[in-house]
Amino acid sequence: MTEIDVLISEVGPRDGLQSIDTIMSTEHKKEWIKAEAESGVREIEVGSFVPAKLLPQMADAFEIVQYAKDIPNLTVVALVPNFIGAKNAIDAGADKICLPLSVSETHSQANLRKSHDEVLEEIRKISEYIEQLEKSQRPEFEGNLSTAFGCTLEGKVSEDLVLKLGARMMELGCNEIGLSDTTGYANPNQIKRLIRLLNKEVGQENLKSMHLHNTRGLGLANALASLEEGITTLDSSLGGIGGCPFAPGASGNIVTEDLVFMLDAMGVETGIDINKLLEVTNKVQSFIPDESIYGFTKDSGLPIGYEKGWGIVRS
Amino acid sequence: MTEIDVLISEVGPRDGLQSIDTIMSTEHKKEWIKAEAESGVREIEVGSFVPAKLLPQMADAFEIVQYAKDIPNLTVVALVPNFIGAKNAIDAGADKICLPLSVSETHSQANLRKSHDEVLEEIRKISEYIEQLEKSQRPEFEGNLSTAFGCTLEGKVSEDLVLKLGARMMELGCNEIGLSDTTGYANPNQIKRLIRLLNKEVGQENLKSMHLHNTRGLGLANALASLEEGITTLDSSLGGIGGCPFAPGASGNIVTEDLVFMLDAMGVETGIDINKLLEVTNKVQSFIPDESIYGFTKDSGLPIGYEKGWGIVRS
């Protein structure tokens, strides 16, 4: 397989689909995940292990993980809110589980109905559980610092708290830390500063991933800033599903197609075939015809005479 | 006046309005320009001196320049396609004139019906004309390299040709050179490479400005890359007027409000009051109710508890 510079982690089947009213059928989810993996995407967050009564869109997470783990060259990620969810995700065969801890405790209470200490206790229990599994059964365990750049309930969040919680998650057994601009508040300088600070706290090798939203249009600029500070995994959502920028207050993930176009044009290897990826978009749109799918590259098409890497800086 | 780090050059009244069907009334243009200057914008490209039969939207350029030159702390820019246009713009009192030379000769022929040599001859004549004016009457004269990152007719353009034409424009008497991604083809690495190469050719002090489109969603990432390479003037259009990203093939300028939000949040001083700027957007929308005005920050609003410069990198 081609060596890649940046890992695109597709979060549409989780973050995208949990944010729209339409419930995509299990078969369509499978088709989407398979087609996107075939376009070269190597990591997909396929679902969330939350109670189906809270998020009916995610009711088939177990089946989807089981299905996806048989797709070659794909890391299957599941979001888990707590120990029970983690246990289920691991039983289903997830390669990686990701637990979000809201730096804004108000948001944590609103979202998971848990204080920081309560979430950290879940993390401890999950680590303990993973520890006693056979090595081949152990998933990667990412602790994700959500609302790390600001919160729609609290406003500004404390950077010291971000650092403290990041360090605590590593102590409790997470394998890596991710940063999330859940609210689309971040800007490139803030991104750079927080990465630098958190690198000092948890070690650069443990801070790999960045999750960005495009709420104020800064998503790709923030992605660029993240790469410049050594981030190697970027989350994004195909067709920006789950947030539509045409509507006030929209808050979608950065768009996979635009992100991949940017990196591909820059000569940053993602392993993804941009043309195949754009075909997946059409397929997914046909599965959810009533939902907005957006993206600039999707609408404008690739440049005439486009060549991968035409913007490589040689100096 | 506050010292600024980056000059925002508003091009909506020219690049925006020339791209839409609606003809904005002269009075509304004046109100727009005045209000935006009052929000702190210090340079506005107010019109284009092309024959009114070709661009009826720009028929009042003379009157608009005359009006705008009385607004305090505002550099009034006019686009000129040739010597005749330049003479008119200077007669009207423009502080700065900007002449676009398409690096793609096919585009130059399609746009201005002129070869490179013919455009360069116009530049020579304009310089000669400026030279014999009294010093106080002489405008700044920017030569702008349009389609510098690729052309919708030719595809890839030659970087060597960009450098050659840039050097030639300086020799012929331009005061500064600008780069334009007219087609929205550029990516951050290409931007960085071309700026570095052109700096060597014309001197960094003479390459000040970058004109970006958001066709593939990379506009603000490209703006960030430009700043990192020393660009100090960024063109943008209020409400992204002139290109609507919701429609296939749309090709609008980067959005002033989003750009200013990004810079303001990063602690990069533009001299602009973001809240006042967002009020100007509403005013302009009311002038052209049938046209799409877009922008992420406009729709989402500023973050809760937003503070200017909350992302300053101190290291």
In a domain, A1, yes or no: no
Contacts of B265 in chain A (CB under 8 A): 187, 189-190
How far apart CA A308 and CA A266 sit, in angstroms, is 8
The mean of the pLDDT values for chain B is 94
Distance from CA of A288 to the nearest CA of B (A): 18
pLDDT for B45 equals 98
In a domain, B61, yes or no: yes
Q: Give me the active site residues of A, please.
A: 244
CATH number at residue A191: 3.20.20.70
Lowest mean pLDDT, pick from A47-51, B8-12, B106-110, B157-161:
B106-110
Q: Do B249 and A196 touch (CB under 8 A)?
A: no
Distance from CA of B106 to the nearest CA of A (A): 14
For B120-129, write each residue's pLDDT tens digit: 999 999 999 9
Contacts of B296 in chain A (CB under 8 A): 214-218, 245, 250
Q: How many domains does chain A have?
A: 1
pLDDT for A265 equals 97
List, in sequence order, every beta strand (DSSP E) within B204-262: 207-211, 233-236
In a domain, B4, yes or no: no
Lowest mean pLDDT, pick from A6-15, A263-272, A291-300, B223-232:
A291-300
Of B247, A19, B263, which Cα lies nearest the Cα of B255? B263
Q: Do A261 and B218 touch (CB under 8 A)?
A: yes
Residue B254: C-alpha distances to residues A240, B214, B218, B221 (Å): 19, 5, 9, 11
Distance from CA of B104 to the nearest CA of A (A): 13
Give the phi and the psi of residue A298 in degrees, each rounded to 5. -55, -45
In a domain, B315, yes or no: no
pLDDT-based confidence at B243, cuts 50/70/90?
low
Residue B286 has pLDDT above 60, yes or no: yes
In a domain, B1, yes or no: no
ipTM of the complex: 0.95
In a domain, A97, yes or no: yes
pLDDT for B274 equals 97
Contacts of A267 in chain B (CB under 8 A): 189
In a domain, B289, yes or no: yes
In a domain, B304, yes or no: no
pLDDT for A243 equals 58
Residue B223 has pLDDT above 50, yes or no: yes
Q: Give every CB contact of residue A47 below 8 A, 6+ residues apart in sequence.
A: A13, A14, A58, A60, A61, A64, A65, A78, A79
pLDDT-based confidence at A247, cuts 50/70/90?
very low
Q: Least CA distance to A266: which residue of chain B?
A: B189
Residue A245 has pLDDT above 60, yes or no: no
For A117-176, write each residue's pLDDT tens digit: 999 999 999 999 999 999 999 999 999 999 999 998 889 999 999 999 999 999 999 999
Report the pLDDT averaged over residues A300-305.
92
pLDDT-based confidence at A310, cuts 50/70/90?
confident
Contacts of B189 in chain A (CB under 8 A): 265-267, 311-313
Show the domain range for A167. 7-300
Give which of B104, B107, B185 to mutate to test A binding, by max A Cβ within 10 Å: B185
Could you tell me which residues are beta bridge partners of residue A207?
A: A177
